Amino acid sequence: MATTHRDSLPVTRSGPQWRKRTLLLAVIAVVGIDLASAPAAAAPGDPVTAEDAASLVAERGHELEVLTEQFNEARENLESQQMAAAVAQDEVAAAEAALAALSDQLAAVAQTAYTGDGLGAVQAFMTSGSPEEFLDRIALLESVAGHHNDVLDRVAIARTAAEEAQAAAEKAAAEAQQQVDEVAAQQADLQSEIAEYQAQYTALTAAQREEADAAHGGRTLAAPPPSAVVADSAAAQAAVDTAMAQLGDPYVWAAAGPDSFDCSGLTQYAFAAAGISLPHSSRMQATMGQAVPRAELQAGDLVYFYSPVSHIGIYIGGGQMVHASTFGEPVKVGSVDMSGYAGARRIV
């Protein structure tokens, strides 16, 4: 299970990254809408200049994408924990039902013994009219005793199963609740980071926004006509066609459609149209299917970026991919060879 504790998040309130962010905000506050007219070179000793603003915003965009993907993975883990808790609770119910049924059988055996309906060996000897009848009654006694012992054993097993199921259910429920608390805290952090990033991004000029978008999400390429993107299987074709149909939809952190997406949300949505379930997590998706060398990529392959993985798209051929790239950029076609390329997986 991936770590989702708040103190493991890549963006913290101290250290070099926070200082860079503070400097960036200072630059934006001073330069404001006149960033484009800033001097071409920094004054000696200035750690951050107007010219650095776009690259720092791009860096912040990547940090935020990492955080978002950790949040997405935490939600996936939470869903797994909740399913485990539900399964464990079902096991408790089944074990308790079995124990109740066996307890009824045991009570019936005890009732027979208590009321004297049972037959002892001496009584069998005294009341038998012949050796054969006596042997028959002894055989019956042994059968009853065996059934009694069997019921006792099954009751003990059922009781143990019920106790173990209850313990498992309580453990799963506690872990699920811990995940709920951690995801809620991470979501609060994420919303704070998003608001800060949007303020930084909005303060850039149009030209600098374009530069920041390209630095993090790669250059935008002209989308090929739909008929030009041909996959080797119906499932891969469905995934590609669905992803391409989302071109122009906005990038929204932690979104998975139908009208807005983050990177792993888009791939999840596209493959769902092909009947294939993917987790809403780029790192998890990058472990599925089969690894594919760069030279053997086919339309419909997942292509992922950075280490640890924090971005993912769908290859469409010709060295291109369709992906939800970054805030401020809609779903678009870009080069698979953008910065950070880490590998590819074939899902179908």
Secondary structure (3-state) at 22: helix
- Computed from CA positions of residues 178, 180, 181, 183, in that sequence, does the dihedral angle turn out positive or negative? positive
Q: 2 with 182: CB under 8 angstroms?
A: no
Which phi and psi angles does 74 have, rounded to 5°? Answer: -60, -40
263 part of the active site: yes
Strands 332-335 and 220-221 turn out to be antiparallel
Non-local (6+) Cβ contacts of 67 within 8 A are 9, 10, 11, 189, 190, 193
323 part of the active site: yes
280 part of the active site: no
Active-site entry in 62, 216, 263, 280: 263
How far apart CA 266 and CA 251 sit, in angstroms, is: 9
Give the distance, in angstroms, between the CA of residue 234 and the centroid of all CA atoms in the same chain: 26
Active-site entry in 62, 216, 280, 311: 311
The two three-digit tokens of residue 85, written as one number: 């808790």
Q: 297 with 336: CB under 8 angstroms?
A: yes
Strand segments, DSSP code E, in the chain are: 220-221, 290-291, 302-305, 311-317, 320-323, 332-335, 341-346
Q: Is 346 left (phi over 0), alpha (psi -120 to 50) or beta?
A: beta
How far apart CA 299 and CA 230 sit, in angstroms, is: 7
The two three-digit tokens of residue 135, written as one number: 């042997």
Query: Which residues are designated catalytic?
Result: 263, 311, 323
